Structure 1
Amino acid sequence: MTDSVEAQDSSYAAARLRLLTQEAQSGPPRRAALAALTDQWLAALATSAAEATGTGGFALLAVGGYGRGELSPRSDLDLVLLHDNEKSVAALADRLWYPVWDLGLALDHSVRTPAEALKAAAEDLKVQLGLLDARHLAGDPALTSALRGSVLADWRNQAPKRLPALHEMCQERAERQGELSYLLEPDLKEARGGLRDATALRAVAASWLADAPREGLDAARTTLLDTRDALHLATGRATDRLALQEQDQVADALGLLDADALLRQVYEAARRIAYASDVTWREVGRVLRSRQQRPRRRGLLGLGRTSPAGHAPERVPLADGVVEQEGEAVLALAAKPDRDPLLPLRAAAAAAQAGLPLSLHAVRRLAAAAPQLPVPWPAEAREQLVTLLGAGEATVQVWEALEAEGLITRLLPDWDRVRCRPQRNAVHRFTVDRHLVETAVRASELTRRVGRPDLLLTAALLHDIGKGWPGDHSEAGEVIARDVATRIGFNPADATTLALLVRHHLLLIDTATRRDLDDPETVRSVAETVRDTSTLELLAALTEADALATGPAAWSTWRASLLADLVDRVAGALDSGALPRAADRDPTAEEERLAIEAARTGGPVLALHAQAEPEPEGDAQEEALGVELILAVPDRPGLVALAAGVLALHRLTVRAADLRSFDPIGEGPIGLLTWRVSAEYGALPEAARLRADLARAFDGGLDIEARLAEREAAYPRRRGITPPPPRVTVAPGGTSQTATVLEVRAHDAPGLLHRIGLALAGTAVTIRSARISTLGANAVDAFYVVGKDGSPLPSARAAEVARQVEKALR
């Protein structure tokens, strides 16, 4: 008998070696063949051992990875010897385990009765997960079948308790091991998006509570398993960490070009698994919350937020065609993605600004149905992209959802070259594409420092786009950035600025840390490159955002101080850039006609006009979105606050505005407000209703504050992000000879301009003119104000007004 067992062991060892050294057979076929070969060997061992020891009531089970048939060359054999209180089971176990050890194979084993196995599963989640994949190898099949049935039944019954524990386990592991898709030496099993997470998704599916999005998931799992197989053969060890020194050999074994190609393939797989995990755990959360919120009904599983009476889940509008439902941004019932090319960006921006994930169903509908955007993009499309980029941390999960379904590369084809591209630099924490998104996240915190937050956020997204091409990435990126800027609808001047920012995004930090700042030539050279103070402030903010997104080693107090010193010196060498002045142009014929009518009638007069797209050479801040609304009304204190409040009540978003006052017929000043507005969602209001509400507001018959409060109470706006605080500053002297210029930079929100108008009215200053711009989700407004005597404010008074307005906005 001993000779027979030894012959079986030798035969198995030889066959195993042949299987592992056959280059023609790899991947799933080899894993399946190795599992089948091992099954046959262990079954023969168990039969011989049972006959030798006289053991009857037992079963040998493969569990865990071996139970799933996922035997990599150096994988452990996960085995359970199940017995029905057999006294001879110890002798049987010895005859099973020792041959395995003698062949040098790793073994994870246990010997239990069915009751002991169920008890261990109840006490240890990892044991229960392993038993979910139990597979019969030898002995009494009835023992295996009974245990499997009990384990599955317990798992499904305990799902409300066990699944949150499993989710917590996955999160803790991710915190320890990091994200597989960004690590230069990733752990293929333990890191987020690795094989452990794929196994967790199988367990969720087995609970019958939820299931993962299946498309691409099996292929991603196979990629990681194939990589682990090649790693085991390359190292001769049971390791899951893809170390740098093994990557070239593993890539060669898998038929890939080089280690970078290997990492990109691994990263793609990890992202698919990580995204599927995010979607699945959200679904689990919704199901469990639903069970807690209302009684279960036979044959009905409730999902999401409902009214106490069990009505349909609440749907709260977020944007045109987009609503919030059950903690996700979803498409409205009336949305028509096949007719609305702007809907993907609008949905993404609305989701990110609300701090919500974009639902899987919505993303897939958009990917399948939404038509291509025209080139160049409409102004609204660009605004929505900037709004998405400016949402801070909430941008990441929405961007990942769009990437998972191919929408990012459809919108920005150049993105494909940097997607999942590794950075072989220890300073960088992320792949190139995630670094670009992370830089935009960091830049969103710095938007109050710049006059063009849209250019800052776009430059952040594009600054390393050239890393997908050979040669100097800054030089390649300059060309790509100009092309992308033109594609998404920036005018030539802005495209040139973006190209400059990308080409020189390392200029300031390299100069500050490597050059003598006391040398006038150093400052002169930088000043000649950046051209003006507006570009300088953009480049300084981009430099800081880039460093913060790179990693802790790339930014420090010392580096920040050197950068600030250089920026101050260069700013001193440049001419001060004046803010645009709203009163430079004369009224149009229509504006003058409306002003004359308002002067004669004493009431508000308005006109609404649809706006065409701007000419390519136009000023970006003059581009129109939605419609133009011209309002003429006798000037009075608080005019801006009243008019803006009425627009907010009608859910009109102010994209840009010129506000000024003049006397058309010598009978008193007329306030002329030229607005560019768009509907927050739904249709534009009727002109007659808008005019009536304006008249009531100016007559004191409309309580704007109360109406806005009522609307907010009825439809509370979810704010999932924490934008940078508002900033109100006094423009430097020389910006205007006739007024003090206050610049307000804040996060756009319904009623913002109304609140600014109230705050200014509360300081007893007069708004002579104003320039209003909304760039993405950022408001950049300039107010030309004077005192009671009609003169610019003294410095101390101007600073105090700025402080009061900023305090009111906070």
Structure 2
Amino acid sequence: MPSAETTTEAEEPDPGNYAAARLRLLTGAGDTGPPRRAALAGLTDRWLRALFTTACRSTGVRGAALVAVGGYGRGELSPRSDLDLLLLHDRHTDPAAVAALADRLWYPVWDLGLALDHSVRTPARARATAAEDLKVHLGLLDARTVAGDAGLVTTLRTTVLADWRNQAAGRLPELHELCRERAERQGELRFLLEPDLKEARGGLRDTGALRAIAASWLADAPREGLAEARRTLLDTRDALQLTTGRATDRLDLQEQDQVAAELGLRDADALLRRVYEAARTVSYASDVTWREVHRVLRARSARPRLRAVLGGRRAEPERTALADGVVEQDGEAVLARTAKPERDPVLVLRAAAAAARSGVPLSPAAVRRLAAAGRDLPVPWPPAAREEFLALLGAGEPVIAVWEALEAEGLISRLLPDWERVRCRPQRNPVHTWTVDRHLIETAVRAAALTRRVSRPDLLLIAALLHDIGKGWPGDHSLAGETIARDMAGRIGFEPADVAVIATLVRHHLLLAETATRRDLDDPATVRAVASAVGTTSTLELLHALTEADALATGPAAWSAWRGSLVADLTGRVAALLAGLEPAEPELTPPSADQERLAMEALRTGGPVLTLRTGTGALREGPDTAEPGLIGAELLIAVPDRPGVLPAAAGVLALHRLTVHSADLRTAESPADPAATVLLLNWRVAAAFGALPEETRLRADLVRALDGTLDIRTRLAERDAAQPRRRGITPPPPRVRVAPAASRSATVLEIRAPDAPGLLHRIGRALEGAGVRVRSARVSTLGANAVDAFYVTSADGRPLPGDIAAGLARALEQALA
């Protein structure tokens, strides 16, 4: 067996020289990407080789090798990658000498501050460990000799690879389960605002799994774009580690602009979009490859039984017709032998619809053939194409996988050119779970479940698919989307009247939700404004269904029983107006029995009294299941009218961690003394943590807040200061605007600000300081942002003049900033 000295270069292992050369390589203006990773691996090889040679001489060890495994074994070193090293030695080598050799190898690496994942094994022990530990087995598939006895490493590689192929039927399901568990923990890379480039689904770990599957000879991944996707993820990780100086794979928000600049990209959105596109390619390749793995394993297990039945004859695959030119074979939708995509432009949509209706994936081979040989549809599309497209969208959940298959070969952008602008486009609002394109598909899936509620399900499905199509353009996405939707609906082949309805739905897809949660539904101006925008009862019906589908497809925070009841209430009022029933002008309804009782008690005691009730009966307008994990309640407060009540009450609620969803304020006069008035506050609240507070504690703190012995501002500031903050993240400034013509009886102020404990308290203080009266408020939270509407009047109960209202809005912005 050759010695280490005869197989390695005789170089002096100078750590200082290596460290300086490494720094020049990482910070210089030379090659980046794969050339730099390969150069870094080569530089490290030379240093470790010299280190190994010197260590073998001093310890007298022969029959050993230094082996790179994992990413280092592939010759890919990122700036902060671990050095995955195996010291392989002959079983006859003296253990004490091997231990001394290991010390002389590992300590210089640690002294340079490099991360090291190391092990010392004989070939037999390495093989046994691989059999016990799947991750070790995967690492050894990429084993490469750095220094020493190359024959020892070749023998190990050959044995480990043979084991991998022989044990594939057991190993690959184990690997698939490992990938599935990791995806559940880390999420889908292409939908995360702060993705882990390595561990999230569609990341670098999955590219390694695809390499392992290919090494098993059981299946191979679709190669189109996969190498480029992997390079994109590696390049992004390199730039991330260079800009942060840390061994990290997580692309945090505060680093994204710097990473984008390092890669020569315009901004963080361009970076995320590139990463998402790469992750989508990896995810799709993983889905296809694992499907093929399971198909092969099922076929292998069934083959002996089938041969016995057939007497050794070869079985022909069963083919079931799904549509003209489309059949099912081996659990996939494939093209029939007689299909001619070059003569049938509708075939791509017919195949997609057939696959989605049947709940089977669309074969990658079929999609590739359709992309290569298929003809483009004429514009406008023929009726048959439009019908198949609607059948695809109406198939529900299976449409997602089929759509992804079409996207993988660029067919969606060929069918709908405007789709390219929203493809893989990130959404910075954390309320959104998905990228823009996936959100549109998810909305169509939700809309498919609501088609029986509307008279024109075709218009609902198309509007659901297109409602956010304007997010790829500058400005208000609803306005831009209206124009784009007109063009796309016409392209698909809808009649002009239907195109107009689709454009209206896209233009006003946020109207019902925003109005219901931010406006006083008892104000006739609110109902008339919505009716004017919608125009007809049939359009209102479609808009109601679209609103629900859009919210359900956005994320858990976008829809609740409370929001649903508000939207339904508004829809009912608008439908009545469109049917000819004029809304009544708002009248001051008399106080309820509970409010009268509280008012009399407040007048008698001269202080605040309150009651806190839970249960759906107490929450006619409030969130009985407002958000997951929140306990809803109705809080009634009565207090003799005096300045400072609103900010004091709001501050107390914030101190007790109560989330406010709506607030109605009114005054009541004493029957015995008209000069004595009581302020009545009706709050819809929810407990963010644990149980609701006790009434006695709430009242005691409200008394202290009103008499000045409870310093709410200081308490809230102390709690806010104790909250951890994300480094480098600056929330957008608050914005306050006067909503034009929103009410005839009050001025409506719309407030958008970063949500924070005590925000409502600060708003109340600012309004009290301005000398205006708050009639009612609609309070809602979308992700990290509060979106509130306050109905305010002058002291005599009238709307504010325009200039005073504008000045109040500016003053509020300054106060909240």
State TM-score, norm by structure 2: 0.68
3-state SS of paired residue (1:111): strand
1:537 is aligned to 2:541: yes
1:71 is aligned to 2:80: no
Of 361, 379, 392, which residue of structure 2 is paired with 1:357?
361
| Distance apart, 1:498 and its partner CA | 0.1
3-state SS of paired residue (1:31): helix
CA contact 2:13–2:47 (8 Å) conserved in 1:
no
State the match for 1:145 in structure 2. 154
Aligned equivalents of 1:307, 1:550: Cα separation in 2: 56
CA contact 2:353–2:388 (8 Å) conserved in 1:
yes
Of 232, 239, 260, which residue of structure 1 is paired with 2:248?
239
Q: What amino acid sits opposite 2:129 in the alignment? A: A
| Distance apart, 1:575 and its partner CA | 2.5
Aligned equivalents of 2:324, 2:61: Cα separation in 1: 71
Of 207, 210, 215, which residue of structure 2 is paired with 1:198?
207
CA contact 1:307–1:314 (8 Å) conserved in 2:
no
Greater relative contact order: 1 or 2 (C-alpha under 8 angstroms, separation 6 or more)?
1
Paired residues for 1:376-387 under 5 Å: 376-387=380-391
CA contact 1:306–1:312 (8 Å) conserved in 2:
no
The share of aligned pairs that are identical, in percent, is 74
| Distance apart, 1:307 and its partner CA | 11
Aligned equivalents of 2:531, 2:354: Cα separation in 1: 39
State the match for 2:529 in structure 1. 525
3-state SS of paired residue (1:295): helix
Q: For 1:588-642, what per-residue CA distance to the aligned partner results, in whole angstroms no more than 9, with x for missing partners?
A: xxxxxxxxxxxxxxxxxxxxxxxxxxxxxxxxxxxxxxxxxxxxxxxxxxxxxxx
3-state SS of paired residue (1:26): coil
State the match for 2:483 in structure 1. 479
3-state SS of paired residue (1:541): helix
Paired residues for 1:128-527 under 5 Å: 128-295=137-304, 310-527=314-531
CA contact 1:307–1:313 (8 Å) conserved in 2:
no
3-state SS of paired residue (2:334): strand
Q: What amino acid sits opposite 1:104 in the alignment? A: G
State the match for 1:720 in structure 2. none
Of 127, 131, 135, which residue of structure 2 is paired with 1:122?
131
| Distance apart, 1:309 and its partner CA | 5.1
Aligned equivalents of 2:429, 2:275: Cα separation in 1: 18
Of 12, 15, 23, which residue of structure 2 is paired with 1:9?
15
Q: For 1:52-98, what per-residue CA distance to the aligned partner results, in whole angstroms no more than 9, with x for missing partners?
A: 00011211100001001110000000000111132210000000000
State the match for 1:105 in structure 2. 114
3-state SS of paired residue (1:294): helix
3-state SS of paired residue (2:423): coil
State the match for 2:815 in structure 1. none
CA contact 2:140–2:157 (8 Å) conserved in 1:
yes
Summarize the Cα distance change of 1:421–1:575 in structure 2 as closer, same or farther, 3 Å threshold. Answer: same
3-state SS of paired residue (1:318): strand
CA contact 1:294–1:310 (8 Å) conserved in 2:
no
CA contact 2:12–2:51 (8 Å) conserved in 1:
no
State the match for 2:42 in structure 1. 36
Aligned equivalents of 2:485, 2:354: Cα separation in 1: 25
3-state SS of paired residue (1:516): coil
Summarize the Cα distance change of 1:43–1:470 in structure 2 as closer, same or farther, 3 Å threshold. Answer: same
Aligned equivalents of 2:220, 2:324: Cα separation in 1: 30
Q: Which moved more, 1:305-314 or 1:230-239?
A: 305-314
CA contact 1:306–1:314 (8 Å) conserved in 2:
no
Paired residues for 1:627-666 under 5 Å: none
Aligned equivalents of 1:449, 1:472: Cα separation in 2: 29
3-state SS of paired residue (2:120): strand
Q: What amino acid sits opposite 2:124 in the alignment? A: A
3-state SS of paired residue (1:192): coil
Aligned equivalents of 2:336, 2:166: Cα separation in 1: 35
Summarize the Cα distance change of 1:292–1:194 in structure 2 as closer, same or farther, 3 Å threshold. Answer: same
CA contact 2:65–2:147 (8 Å) conserved in 1:
yes
CA contact 1:377–1:488 (8 Å) conserved in 2:
yes
CA contact 1:181–1:267 (8 Å) conserved in 2:
yes
Aligned equivalents of 1:70, 1:383: Cα separation in 2: 50
Q: What amino acid sits opposite 1:561 in the alignment? A: S
Q: Figure out how many residues of one structure are paired with residues of the other and give that number.
A: 569
CA contact 1:532–1:575 (8 Å) conserved in 2:
no
Aligned equivalents of 1:393, 1:22: Cα separation in 2: 50
Aligned equivalents of 1:354, 1:268: Cα separation in 2: 28
Q: What amino acid sits opposite 1:469 in the alignment? A: W
3-state SS of paired residue (1:356): coil
Aligned equivalents of 1:519, 1:248: Cα separation in 2: 46
Of 546, 551, 557, which residue of structure 2 is paired with 1:553?
557
3-state SS of paired residue (2:14): helix
Aligned equivalents of 1:192, 1:343: Cα separation in 2: 32
CA contact 2:443–2:549 (8 Å) conserved in 1:
yes
Paired residues for 1:548-627 under 5 Å: 548-575=552-579
Aligned equivalents of 2:184, 2:398: Cα separation in 1: 19
CA contact 2:59–2:100 (8 Å) conserved in 1:
yes
3-state SS of paired residue (1:109): strand
3-state SS of paired residue (1:330): strand
State TM-score, norm by structure 1: 0.69
Summarize the Cα distance change of 1:253–1:306 in structure 2 as closer, same or farther, 3 Å threshold. Answer: farther
3-state SS of paired residue (1:10): helix
State the match for 1:713 in structure 2. none
Aligned equivalents of 1:371, 1:308: Cα separation in 2: 43
Of 53, 56, 59, which residue of structure 2 is paired with 1:53?
59
3-state SS of paired residue (1:184): coil
Aligned equivalents of 2:434, 2:313: Cα separation in 1: 48
CA contact 1:460–1:545 (8 Å) conserved in 2:
yes
Aligned equivalents of 2:116, 2:310: Cα separation in 1: 50
| Distance apart, 1:524 and its partner CA | 1.5
Q: What amino acid sits opposite 1:478 in the alignment? A: E
| Distance apart, 1:306 and its partner CA | 10
Q: Which moved more, 1:79-88 or 1:253-262?
A: 79-88
Aligned equivalents of 1:50, 1:123: Cα separation in 2: 30
Aligned equivalents of 1:545, 1:38: Cα separation in 2: 55
Summarize the Cα distance change of 1:184–1:497 in structure 2 as closer, same or farther, 3 Å threshold. Answer: same
Summarize the Cα distance change of 1:512–1:165 in structure 2 as closer, same or farther, 3 Å threshold. Answer: same
Aligned equivalents of 1:375, 1:342: Cα separation in 2: 12
Aligned equivalents of 2:305, 2:155: Cα separation in 1: 29
3-state SS of paired residue (2:41): helix
3-state SS of paired residue (2:544): helix
Paired residues for 1:771-786 under 5 Å: none
Let me know the Cα RMSD of the aligned residues.
1.9
Q: For 1:283-340, what per-residue CA distance to the aligned partner results, in whole angstroms no more than 9, with x for missing partners?
A: 111111110111399xxxx9xx999953210000001100000000000111001000
Summarize the Cα distance change of 1:7–1:279 in structure 2 as closer, same or farther, 3 Å threshold. Answer: closer
Aligned equivalents of 1:142, 1:7: Cα separation in 2: 24
CA contact 1:156–1:208 (8 Å) conserved in 2:
yes
Aligned equivalents of 2:252, 2:529: Cα separation in 1: 43
Summarize the Cα distance change of 1:309–1:444 in structure 2 as closer, same or farther, 3 Å threshold. Answer: farther
Aligned equivalents of 1:33, 1:125: Cα separation in 2: 30
